Amino acid sequence: MIKVKQLCKAFDGLQVLKNISMEINKSEVVVLIGASGSGKSTLLRCLNFLEIKDSGEIEISGQVIDTKKTNLNKVREDMGMVFQHFNLFPHMTVLANVIEAPIHIKKKSKQTAIDQAMDILQKVGLADKAHHYPEQLSGGQKQRVAIARALAMEPAVMLFDEPTSALDPELVGEVLETMKNLAREGMTMVIVTHEMGFAREVADRVIMLADGNIIEDGHPSVFFTDPKEERTRRFLQQVL
Ligand code: ADP
Ligand code: MG
């Protein structure tokens, strides 16, 4: 689904991603971990072209993306992104938030968009909040609306950048549960998170970033119990 070859990205002389190569298969759930500042967000943002790589190659669904020739908005439509902060439109109801892009970008009819949005809201457990405004929701509910909004674009891949980091602890579970359900349905997902329990349970692979490189990449059963790299061990000791 995603193939990255020798991806490099620097900001003002700071080499954040040095030589990243990785593959993400269809229906795979990959959790990306690493110290703060190790480039996790930058890598995710390169994957959906919110950041443009300096060099290297990104292939999505068999197509190498030439950032100068490809319509990047079209590519981005296929990659749902959920951030730490939900960025919902505050003046719009939950339903209006979810149907906005399908209508304006995918040119769906309002009724089709509403029907699909209600199905998705059902799935994330918020059908009864369709006509509420974001400020009437808890942080966990807002984040689930953000997930619903991304799903409404029918993306091939979902990217999550610390989706539970801004939530009160008691609200983390419901968001992780929603993500778990998505994984169960076969959604391809790349997730930056510090929720190691979730990674252990849901990830097919865990990837550790350090110093701009992937230093470890493995199945959680091995990754968490017998990491190869000393740096991974030390990191896990801090977060577990
Ligand atoms: P992480 O998500 O792992 O915490 P980031 O990808 O956000 O790491 O950042 C990696 C490094 O790149 C940090 O040193 C950060 O300050 C820097 N960085 C990220 N985005 C930008 C930007 N737009 N401009 C300049 N520096 C940036
Ligand atoms: Mg980050």
- Count structural domains, the chain: 1
Handedness of CA 175, 46, 40, 86 (dihedral sign): negative
Indicate if ipTM > 0.95. yes
Residue 207 has pLDDT above 90, yes or no: yes
Residue nearest to atom 18 of ligand 1 (CA): 11
Least confident of 9-18, 71-80, 162-171: 71-80
Q: What pLDDT is stored for residue 226 in this prediction?
A: 94
Q: Put the strands of the sheet holding 55-60 in their side by side order.
A: 14-24, 2-11, 55-60, 63-64
Ligand nearest to the CA of 47: 1
SS3 content of the chain, % helix, strand, coil (to 5): 40, 25, 35
8 A C-beta contact, residue 9 and residue 17: yes
As a whole number, the mean pLDDT across the chain is: 96
Residue 25 has pLDDT above 90, yes or no: yes
**What span, in angstroms and rounded, lies between the C-alpha atoms of 13 and 22?**
24
Ligand nearest to the CA of 10: 1
CATH number assigned to the domain comprising residue 192: 3.40.50.300
- Centre of ligand 1 from the C-alpha of residue 212, in Å: 11
Q: Which residue has the tokens 């769906």?
A: 108
- Span 98-115, pLDDT tens digits: 999 999 999 999 999 999
Ligand 1, atom nearest to 209 Cα:
3
Residue 86 has pLDDT above 90, yes or no: no
List the domain range (segments joined by +) for residue 202.
Answer: 2-239
Residue 128 has pLDDT above 90, yes or no: yes
Query: If we measure between CA atoms, which residue out of 99, 161, 164 comes closest to residue 138?
Result: 164
Least confident of 6-20, 66-80, 151-165: 66-80
> Cβ(211) to ligand 1 under 6 A?
no
Residue 127 has pLDDT above 90, yes or no: yes
